Amino acid sequence: MPRKIGNFSEALLLSDVTVLLGQDLFPGAKRIQKMKISLWLVAAIIGLGANFAAASETVVVDRSMSEQEVLDAQQGWCKALLDIGNVHATKGHAAAKALAGEVIDGAYAYPMGVVLFKPTLTVNPQTFRATRDGALSYFVGGDSAFPNDDGFALKGWKKCEIENAAIFIAGDSATTMGKVHFTDKDGNKTSVDKTWVFVKDDLGTPRIATHHSSLEYQT
Amino acid sequence: MPRKIGNFSEALLLSDVTVLLGQDLFPGAKRIQKMKISLWLVAAIIGLGANFAAASETVVVDRSMSEQEVLDAQQGWCKALLDIGNVHATKGHAAAKALAGEVIDGAYAYPMGVVLFKPTLTVNPQTFRATRDGALSYFVGGDSAFPNDDGFALKGWKKCEIENAAIFIAGDSATTMGKVHFTDKDGNKTSVDKTWVFVKDDLGTPRIATHHSSLEYQT
Amino acid sequence: MPRKIGNFSEALLLSDVTVLLGQDLFPGAKRIQKMKISLWLVAAIIGLGANFAAASETVVVDRSMSEQEVLDAQQGWCKALLDIGNVHATKGHAAAKALAGEVIDGAYAYPMGVVLFKPTLTVNPQTFRATRDGALSYFVGGDSAFPNDDGFALKGWKKCEIENAAIFIAGDSATTMGKVHFTDKDGNKTSVDKTWVFVKDDLGTPRIATHHSSLEYQT
Amino acid sequence: MPRKIGNFSEALLLSDVTVLLGQDLFPGAKRIQKMKISLWLVAAIIGLGANFAAASETVVVDRSMSEQEVLDAQQGWCKALLDIGNVHATKGHAAAKALAGEVIDGAYAYPMGVVLFKPTLTVNPQTFRATRDGALSYFVGGDSAFPNDDGFALKGWKKCEIENAAIFIAGDSATTMGKVHFTDKDGNKTSVDKTWVFVKDDLGTPRIATHHSSLEYQT
């Protein structure tokens, strides 16, 4: 985006920088591209006698959600689910619970006030998990306030595969709908219908604001 | 919002007008408040000799989604579902299909490119209904391209009740999650877990951009 | 985005289609990319015995504003301004006014309820042009309701050059701030400081929702 | 929003709570309503024999920008400007600079990557102040990197009055355009044309993402 200013311009594209504002959100999966800041540094020499040299730059901040960011966030969710199970198997429940808490804090939008979360296997009167505690219990169980939870992440999942039917990118948020296929250690597969709404927080990190998961309808 | 301009102002709040840009979207349920435009007309007399009279106004256009608009859109969906069934009972399938088409065109966001729609009772490989045709077939059946559809709206529903667990208003869009309870003519009730994302179109009408419905998990 | 489903998948990326929903918004400058719809058609053969073949597709609708769409909309504005002047010179005022009306209808967001428009050369009590009539008068004059307007587009501009200082893409809207340099037929240049907010309408067309233009401050 | 579930419901609206997530953003002006969270607690007794009692609640999080929040943010800006000048007069430049820094950190959106800021009195080649340093220098001067700045907030302003021409609330952001009238200690008034775009951060605080200010055009 070097710009001509006058007849005798000389534009120099110095750099196209991606500023990394990253932090570890999903354990083990460093996700860094929070905010793409493209910097164009343009040195323009104006006028016949070069009597004026203006250094102008266009700063471009793009807070829209890219398709790749959506796909990365989905993969991050799958990886985190398997990680929690692996930590449970090797380090015990406390470690798994601690990791699940980190995952929820990094990947869900509870700090924005609420998450609309309908997990796959929950029942009345605790079907919906609008609070962090409810989400944590669903993933790792062990909370007497949610007596029916036995920990979805602790079921020994070995694979988590995402099959998107559709992605709607609204701007700084995006919705996905499709199948997620879980495979356990014996090779048994469970498929669910899943809707996620991802919203970007101030740092540009996609966070899950809505999560509706359901077993496939059986005729 | 009368404003003082100078020392001898006299402000007059003439009116607070809601401009109606309505149109019939849900048949039988006139919904008119698409866009709230508040107009303040202020006549300000400035200066001792009233040597200048400026008529200034602040035009306020608010495109955010109100909670009431969300609740109205939900009730509109319920009413439309019952209406389609009633029309089917009294006027036959063609009339019901025509009405269902109107409902979809008025209440869903297919014109925006896609709707992420997972109806309650669909099965592979036609679980998701990203197109208008797929939605229409789900509601009224009778489309050989969707052989498993028998018309959800034609099941004789007499009541449709919404029980929201949470509503997240993002700005010009909103997401709801909760139960919807359907009661048939024999008093049998079916409850589903339902997520809706409503987005406003250019006219300010809430449209369903995402719709995930699932039967309750049975332990 | 071909997806593996099971161990023996075979994915085939059939096409990546950009659907053109274009229409002529800026006269003479066909702008077509309103909405990028990427379609991936994936044929997945699952299982050793190919006992199940699912044809799945991911529909991706992206309503975010790209930097290129912003730059194109800016260039469209410049071109339209010169076009109105040229039409005025060759075909007279009525033709110029008709063209200016088309430009406003195609490029500004008046149908959304209001445009926050502060043109460069307007004065009290008609500084702001929140209505289409006010914008039209500013560009081509000749409206007795706006006696101070003599038609900014009719000043014989030969060049219109945009020098962005910064672009902030919020998602489905974007704001730009920078200089716009106008050159008349004698080579005289006028530079203004200009802020534009572009918002996407239902068809994905960027429209000017805010336009603040001001002469450079003279010390 | 008490909901009937079944025929013999008894709904009890327990409370409508506004959760305060406030913090001091504008010095001296506590602003607390960042996020409206309405809680409805509904106790519903269902069925003739009261065989099921479900305690359900609807959590409503509304992140849209209200007109009042916009007006408050504008008044906060005016108050902060006068405060900086008063602190300068009573406590000196260092204190004024410290306060100005707090104001910028609390009220502008620099943490989001950039602010599109065209102050009233800046000149080339430093017309635009996309960085926090540039904004700070404009308000209080004394930065050798911005030699033309003498501190707009230090000019002895005694009044700052806002006269909005139009407000466009897009959802979680809003744009205002109008006049701001400054009165100095001698009663001299300076009027500027001003455009602000406010965006909400994660905590729901409106922040200035765009700020274009210009002296009125002189014919």
Residues of D in contact with A55 (CB under 8 A): 125
Query: Which of C37, C56, C201 is nearest residue B113 as measured by Cβ atoms?
Result: C37
- If you measure CA to CA, which chain A residue comes closest to D125? A54
Q: What is the reported pLDDT for D56?
A: 57
Residues of D in contact with C108 (CB under 8 A): none
Angle, alpha carbons C18-C24-C26 (nearest 5°): 115
Averaged confidence pLDDT in chain B = 79
The stretch B184-195 carries a mean pLDDT of: 97
Tens-place pLDDT, residues C57-113: 799 999 999 999 999 999 999 999 999 999 999 999 999 999 999 999 999 999 999
CB within 8 Å: C54 and B111: no
The stretch D141-145 carries a mean pLDDT of: 98
Task: Report the candidate in D182, D163, D176 with the shortest Cα–Cα distance to residue D208.
Answer: D176
- If you measure CA to CA, which chain C residue comes closest to B205? C202
Read off the pLDDT band of A10 (50, 70, 90): very low
Residues of C in contact with D146 (CB under 8 A): none
Model confidence at A105: pLDDT above 80: yes
Model confidence at D34: pLDDT above 60: no
The stretch B178-182 carries a mean pLDDT of: 98
Model confidence at B50: pLDDT above 80: no
Averaged confidence pLDDT in chain A = 79
Identify the residue with better confidence: A30 or B213: B213
Could you identify the residue written with the tokens 């009692």?
D53
Model confidence at A6: pLDDT above 70: no
Identify the residue with better confidence: C57 or B76: B76
* Poorest-pLDDT segment among C102-111, C172-181, D53-62: D53-62
- If you measure CA to CA, which chain D residue comes closest to A127? D56
Q: What is the reported pLDDT for D133?
A: 98
Q: What is the reported pLDDT for A78?
A: 98
CB within 8 Å: D55 and A124: no
Residues of A in contact with C71 (CB under 8 A): 1
Q: For C167, phi and psi rounded to 5 degrees?
A: -130, 125
* Residue A163 near residue C56 (C-beta atoms within 8 A): yes
Query: Which of D4, D56, D58 is nearest residue B167 as measured by Cβ atoms?
Result: D58
CA distance D168 to B191: 40
Tens-place pLDDT, residues C24-51: 333 332 222 223 333 322 222 222 222 2
Binding-site residues on chain B for chain C (CB distance < 8 A) = 35, 37, 54-56, 59, 61, 63, 111-114, 124-125, 130, 201-202
Q: What is the reported pLDDT for B211?
A: 98
Task: Name the minimum distance, in Å, from the CA of A180 to any CA of chain D.
Answer: 28
User: Which range is most confident: A3-7, A36-40, A92-96?
Assistant: A92-96
Query: Which of C114, C168, C176 is nearest residue D168 as measured by Cβ atoms?
Result: C114
Binding-site residues on chain A for chain B (CB distance < 8 A) = 113-114, 116-118, 120-124, 127-128, 130, 148, 165-166, 168, 170, 173, 175-179, 193, 195, 197, 199, 209-210, 212, 214-217, 219
Q: What is the reported pLDDT for D14?
A: 23
Q: What is the reported pLDDT for A56?
A: 57
Identify the residue with better confidence: C17 or D86: D86
CB within 8 Å: D215 and C214: yes
Tens-place pLDDT, residues B86-97: 999 999 999 999
* Poorest-pLDDT segment among A1-5, A206-210, C71-75, D131-135: A1-5
Task: Name the minimum distance, in Å, from the CA of D33 to any CA of chain B.
Answer: 16
Which helix H or strand E contains A19, and what residues bound it? none
> Neighbouring chains of A at 3+ CB pairs within 8 Å?
B, C, D
Long-range contacts of residues C79-83, Cβ cutoff 8 Å, at least 24 apart:
C79/C26, C79/C28, C79/C29, C79/C160, C80/C26, C80/C27, C80/C29, C80/C107, C81/C139, C81/C152, C81/C153, C81/C157, C81/C160, C82/C157, C82/C158, C82/C159, C82/C160, C83/C27, C83/C28
Model confidence at B24: pLDDT above 90: no
Identify the residue with better confidence: A192 or D2: A192
* Residue C197 near residue C173 (C-beta atoms within 8 A): yes
Tens-place pLDDT, residues D153-207: 999 999 999 999 999 999 999 999 999 999 999 999 999 999 999 999 999 999 9
Q: What is the reported pLDDT for A31?
A: 27
Model confidence at C12: pLDDT above 50: no
Which helix H or strand E contains A78, and what residues bound it? helix A67-91
CB within 8 Å: B59 and D165: yes
The stretch B4-18 carries a mean pLDDT of: 24
Binding-site residues on chain D for chain A (CB distance < 8 A) = 35, 37, 54-56, 59, 61, 63, 111-114, 124-125, 130, 201-202
- If you measure CA to CA, which chain B residue comes closest to C109? B202
Averaged confidence pLDDT in chain D = 79
Model confidence at D44: pLDDT above 60: no
Task: Name the minimum distance, in Å, from the CA of A8 to any CA of chain C.
Answer: 15
The stretch A125-154 carries a mean pLDDT of: 98
Query: Which residues on neighbouring strands pair with residue B61, listed in sequence order?
Result: B37, D168
Model confidence at D4: pLDDT above 80: no
Task: Name the minimum distance, in Å, from the CA of C52 to any CA of chain A.
Answer: 15
